[in-house]
Amino acid sequence: MDIVEILSYGFIQRAMITGVLISVLCAVLGVFLVLRRLSLIGDGLAHVTFGSVAIALLFRTSPVYVTVAAIPLVLLSSLGILKLSEKARVYGDAAIGIVSSCGIACGVILASVAGGFNVDLFSYLFGNILSISQTEMVIAAALFVVVITIVVLFFNDLFALAFDEELARSSGIRADRINAVLVLLTALTVTLAMKVVGIMLISALLILPAVTALQVVRGFTTTILTAAACAVCSVILGILSSFLFNLPTGGMIVIVSLILFAIAFIFKKSRNVS
Amino acid sequence: MQVDLVTVQGLTFSYGGLEVLTDLSFRVKRGDYLGIVGPNGSGKSTLVRSLLGLTSLQQGSVELFGEPLESFRSWAKIGYLSQRLKSLNPAFPATVEEIVGLGLLARKRFPKRRAREDMVAIDRTLTHMGIMDLKKRPFGDLSGGQQQRALLARALVNEPELLILDEPTTALDPETRENFYQLLRHLNRNHGTTIILVTHDTWSIGNYAGRFLYIDKKIVFDGTFEEFCHSEEMTGFFGEYAQHMICHRH
């Protein structure tokens, strides 16, 4: 089967478009998160997404709108992580641990109370990008525009905070507000990414493109752009290879990201040697 | 009447019941070059952090440019350089140009976009500091001295009226340190920049600062260098030998 034929399928087109949009968001936010050593916040929020999806399903929300229904709870949890680490003298990683395990716990309990759900929770755990509907694609595109616009508006503040929080604050940047913006955007993106690679693999989408770019690039703006490019390549090659070899798409997207990282790592090593 | 750049009144600060600053009061006038000296753990860094609003005040008040710290927003008038960046990632992906550009954010309003005059300001500062050749270099590839110069450029790019430096030369070799101090002196004398320099290097501060403040949780001495050297009280505090060493600028 040639590539043109694969690309002619409607479900592949939807998967490609949605996947590219969401992975770009993940890559851009991932650079800020990785540099601030907050990489695992994505993982924590993904677990919360599991609980939120369970609640949405409990209320018999239509599968198309489950993602949207899960958003408010994930946004609240992201602020919860921030508040726990700021006010309750809980370290950031511990705060993520608390919130993420609570998310899974609630999800499991709710699933049991409801006596199992008619929609397979499994598809949320490992994603099912090929089943993305027209409506879900439109929702993803709308949220893409929202998130990218906010990142562009706060770009310099986010950059300054990633470099050094104290210096940023001494330039009058309100660190607490910008931190809240960053975790809220991450929460929104993670909820969207659930359908692409699944809850279990979302951190790969946030972390791998960022660390790949960090291997090869030296400027800040170029790092962001390179991470986004890596993410786009991973999604396109991941979807194509999964179709060709009949393997799970979410898993293949992550494996392609990993290969790109390995190439970048080897490139950096060889450059350092020469 | 000219407004003092910094007015500290009755500043007291404690960490978990342990007082690190006790009832500090002093003023900094425009054009001053003030050295804040004291042993390790004397509260110098806490004082600087309080001046910059990085820790909230517990007791006492701080005014910057005649405005209470709580409502002060003209951060572009102040340049800050710390000893070393606590969270500095040695491989941070940014060029010197990008890092210096961060200094310009203080004078921007939302949304903080880059403007053409920013490039001019960055180039001017880099040229002035003699590090124009580093402009496109990744920050992480620079030596400690070069990084500190780039960060000083970041602090200076706004042409601040007040420069606050917290142990800025700790990581520098003697020659780079000397160049660094010469640059500060030039800024103070020729550009009228007010400087607050925090250091534990009591021995050499007399070479640079016109006035100095010796603190050890409270203010032990506040005055010019000459006054310090002729103060019998300070002879009592430091001992004759140490005072002699400091005053003869060994």
Tens of pLDDT along B102-125? 999 988 877 888 888 899 999 999
Cβ contact, residue pair A219, B95, below 8 Å:
yes
The region of weakest confidence among A211-215, B198-202, B211-215 is B198-202
Q: What is the mean pLDDT of chain A?
A: 89
Q: Is A4 exposed, middle or buried (0-12, 13-18, 19+ CB in 10 A)?
A: exposed
A272 at B interface, C-beta within 8 A: no
On whether the CB atoms of residues B28 and B212 are closer than 8 A, the answer is: no
Q: What is the mean pLDDT of chain B?
A: 87
Of residues A260 and B166, more confidently modeled: A260
Chain A positions touching B150 (Cβ under 8 A) are none
A:B CB pairs within 8 Å: 86
Whether residue B217 is predicted with pLDDT greater than 50 in this model: the reply is yes
Strands B33-37 and B211-216: parallel
Query: 3-state DSSP call for residue B137?
Result: coil
At A206, is the pLDDT very low, low, confident or very high (cuts 50, 70, 90)?
very high
* Shortest distance, CA A246 to any CA of chain B (angstroms): 38
Amino acid, res. B142: L
Among A258-267, B140-149, B177-186, B239-248, the range of highest mean pLDDT: A258-267
* Per-residue model confidence (pLDDT) at position A116: 67
* Per-residue model confidence (pLDDT) at position B178: 83
Whether residue B152 is predicted with pLDDT greater than 80 in this model: the reply is yes
Range B223-249 average pLDDT: 79
Whether residue B85 is predicted with pLDDT greater than 60 in this model: the reply is no
Chain A positions touching B88 (Cβ under 8 A) are 164
Whether residue A33 is predicted with pLDDT greater than 80 in this model: the reply is yes
**Dist CA A92 CA B41 (whole Å):** 28
* Per-residue model confidence (pLDDT) at position A118: 57
- The third-level CATH classification (topology) of the domain covering A3-273 is ABC transporter involved in vitamin B12 uptake, BtuC (1.10.3470)
Tens of pLDDT along A135-159? 989 999 999 999 999 999 999 999 9
Tens of pLDDT along A178-201? 999 999 999 999 998 888 888 888
Q: Which domains does chain B have, with CATH numbers?
A: 6-86+161-247 (3.40.50.300)
Tens of pLDDT along B57-82? 899 999 999 999 999 999 999 999 98
At B147, is the pLDDT very low, low, confident or very high (cuts 50, 70, 90)?
confident
Cα-Cα-Cα-Cα torsion B125, B129, B131, B136, nearest 10 degrees, comes to -20
Cβ contact, residue pair B52, A223, below 8 Å:
no
* Per-residue model confidence (pLDDT) at position B1: 62
Strands B211-216 and B18-28: unpaired
Amino acid, res. A177: R
Cβ contact, residue pair A163, B99, below 8 Å:
yes
* Per-residue model confidence (pLDDT) at position B250: 47
Tens of pLDDT along A100-141? 899 889 888 888 887 766 566 777 888 888 888 899 899 999
Of residues A213 and B144, more confidently modeled: A213
Cβ contact, residue pair A169, B53, below 8 Å:
yes
Cβ contact, residue pair A156, B108, below 8 Å:
yes
Whether residue B5 is predicted with pLDDT greater than 50 in this model: the reply is yes
Range B191-210 average pLDDT: 83
* Per-residue model confidence (pLDDT) at position A158: 96
On whether the CB atoms of residues A24 and A231 are closer than 8 A, the answer is: yes
**Dist CA A154 CA A161 (whole Å):** 11
Cβ contact, residue pair B114, A156, below 8 Å:
yes
At B234, is the pLDDT very low, low, confident or very high (cuts 50, 70, 90)?
confident
Chain B positions touching A177 (Cβ under 8 A) are none
- For every residue of chain A, DSSP letters joined together read --HHHHHTSHHHHHHHHHHHHHHHHHHHHHHHHHHTT-THHHHHHHHHHHHHHHHHHHTT--GGGHHHHHHHHHHHHHHHHHHHHHHS---HHHHHHHHHHHHHHHHHHHHHHTTS-SS-THHHHH--GGG--HHHHHHHHHHHHHHHHHHHHTHHHHHHHHH-HHHHHHTT--HHHHHHHHHHHHHHHHHHHHHHH-GGGHHHHHHHHHHHHHHH--SHHHHHHHHHHHHHHHHHHHHHHHHHHT--HHHHHHHHHHHHHHHHHHHHHHHHH-
* Per-residue model confidence (pLDDT) at position A97: 86
On whether the CB atoms of residues B105 and A160 are closer than 8 A, the answer is: yes
Indicate the pTM of the whole model.
Answer: 0.90
Range B145-163 average pLDDT: 90
Neighbour tally for A42: CB within 10 Å:
26
Whether residue B249 is predicted with pLDDT greater than 60 in this model: the reply is no
Percent of chain A clearing pLDDT 90 (strictly above):
51
